[in-house]
Amino acid sequence: HQYLHGSDSDSSSSSSSSLPSILLAGPSSAGKTALLTLFEKRAGRRTTTTATDAIAGPSQTHTSQTPVSVELNAAQSSDEDKLKKFLLVDTPGHPKLRSTSLRHILPLDPKTGKPLPPNKAPNKIKGVVFMVDASTLAPSSPDSSLSQAATYLYDLLLALQHRYSRYSKGSKHPPTIPVLIAANKLDLFTALPATLVKKELEAELGRIRVSRSKGLLDSGVREDDVTGEKEEGDDWLGEYGSDRFEFKQMLEFDIEVEVVGGSVVGGEGPGVEGWWKWVVQRV
């Protein structure tokens, strides 16, 4: 592949580590790889820089679990100089590997294994695209992906919420990381429209919140598993004590959540324009 970068001495792979990044997360089969490939074809090139290099410093060892990053150009005009470059970082969707994506948001110091202090907090992440398969999201759908998707989303939003508290100093808060929920596969007739995807996810996140507060349900991997620092209410997502969970409760932590529908494949679908626009506005 002509765009593959081989060695660490390659200057462009080290320069890509200073690029703004968008994390791409979501459960398996949501369509992340398909999206990455499509974006790459349109506007990018693949780099060998691992996401951990790009965002959090020293890389971890497990190659098969290493996220893929693609350097993309967000064309502002036809003028080459005005191209904006950014990285799109694909993270594993498998439940056991989810800590990888949460680590980008709340990285550990490789030396001490403790959370990085606020002055070393990563600030290159400009947003998270969380992709779901809208065609299997209905609770009534056979093999519904709702519970899996919502569990992952809960942990992700909670990590962002913790980031906000951990890296805030007085009235100074860390740069915001907005979340785009990309409701994919809208070309399929079983797909829920974005408004319903939002509703179902909010309801399921609310259920998870109640279960976790009662200690009934636990997720696979969470960021506080590693640090052991835990306080009461730490697992509660959004407005504390509220009845229903709504995405707008995340605004209290400066986290904007938006749900936009689209499709990566299938000519009949709405395509990826809405997501691309969201990404380009944030890098």
**Residues within the interface to ligand GDP (CB under 6 A):** 26, 28-34, 93, 184-185, 187-188, 263-266, 269
Residue 90's alpha-carbon distances to 12, 18, 159, in angstroms, are 19, 17, 18
CB of 45 to ligand GDP, least distance (A): 19
Residue 21 vs 263, nearer CB to ligand GDP: 263
18-33 burial, b if ≥16 CB within 10 A, otherwise e? Answer: ebbbbbbbbbebbbbe
CB of 46 to ligand GDP, least distance (A): 15
CB of 27 to ligand GDP, least distance (A): 7
8 A C-beta contact, residue 26 and residue 132? yes
Residue 35 vs 56, nearer CB to ligand GDP: 35
CB of 264 to ligand GDP, least distance (A): 4
CB of 174 to ligand GDP, least distance (A): 28
Residue 149 vs 160, nearer CB to ligand GDP: 149
Residue with tokens 């030396």: 111
Rounded to whole angstroms, the Cα distance separating 71 from 39 reads 10
Residue 97's alpha-carbon distances to 104, 119, 174, 200, 268, in angstroms, are 12, 27, 26, 25, 33
Comparing C-alpha atoms, which of 220, 223, 231 is closest to residue 106?
Answer: 223
Residue 74 vs 264, nearer CB to ligand GDP: 264
CB of 75 to ligand GDP, least distance (A): 23
What does the block give as tokens for 24? 């791409």
Residue 30 vs 181, nearer CB to ligand GDP: 30
Rounded to whole angstroms, the Cα distance separating 3 from 151 reads 36
Residue 192 vs 250, nearer CB to ligand GDP: 192
CB of 170 to ligand GDP, least distance (A): 40
What does the block give as tokens for 74? 């967000």
Residue 75 vs 188, nearer CB to ligand GDP: 188
